[in-house]
Structure 1
Amino acid sequence: MDESSVRKMSPRRAAELLSKTPGEELSLQAWEGLREVCVSGMQDERLSADERIGWAAAGALVVDRMRDHSECADRRVAMASEARLRAYVITRFGREDDSSLRDLSLLIRRVVDAVGAESWVVADSADGWQRMTRHEMLELRRIKNLVTPFKSILPLLSPTDPLRDKIKEWVDIIPLLP
């Protein structure tokens, strides 16, 4: 399976094949290329909403394979890709609380789990990041990459939405991070 063959498939067929392809069968670089094909399909406004969501689902499968790949140095890098993908789907096609790509509470749980700390802890640890080691700065940068997709979702939430406060906590610390 390669990028050009996946590009010619329907999103449903691509997802079917991708779900059957073991992560180690392809290099991490090949998976990244397939992710780019899926994201391109997801963003192609000439396609129907169903096709675009189908490409997003295929992209999520690719990100899963990338996360589990032995060459993946940090699973949070793959989770940041997933967070961007899910945020795009939610902002373009609406929110559905159904454990799908459009489930905002699922996105929040997955991102917070990947961060591994509460927002106030991250905010406290970001104080004085300029004096940190390269490794510590990189950790904070990865957290920033994880939570940045929340910025696009925040304007969609009503002031009374219970998830708004949770997302706002994370959005507010983004400027504090390197």
Structure 2
Amino acid sequence: MPPARKVVGGYFLSLDGVAEAPDQFLSGWDDETDASGKRLIETQDVVILGRRTYDEWAGFWPTSDIEPFASFINATPKYVATSTPLEAEWANSQPIEGDLVDFVRNLKSQPGGDIGLHGSISLTRALLTAGLVDELRLTVIPTIAGTGQQLLSGLPAIRLQTLHSTNTPTGHLLVNYRVIH
């Protein structure tokens, strides 16, 4: 029996936990941060997005040259949690039919690589609450954003196990957690 697929969320966070608009607080970039992002997406063969993230990204990523993420996100199948039809067209995208939790449970039971969560804060919170997220791979930026939506606020108690952590030359903390179910 093949191993079960994992749902893996990858996020940039400020030190105070803000995940919204990381371009506003992301400082510096280095080869280790870049390599961490590459390792994250190399294992993913499908992505689940929330509607707001889809609408924002569909207007940006199809013409972006920010690699390797642009090639990855444009080519990868994207499932969008939405109750209304998708207005912006973006290759390999389709709305999720039915209940999000049921959809993700079903997707996890199918063969394939990791299922990625990127940029969709409320969707990630919903899947964490439902016990469907297996790993969080976070890049913590040494900045206090002060305002913005925090990734982990409003969640029930969830235990995590540190799988890996390292500091980069620009001061980013790269930390991978396994969610203990």
TM bucket (normalised to shorter chain) is under 0.3
Higher strand share: 2
Over alpha carbons, which structure has the higher Rg? 1
What TM-score, normalized to structure 1? 0.26
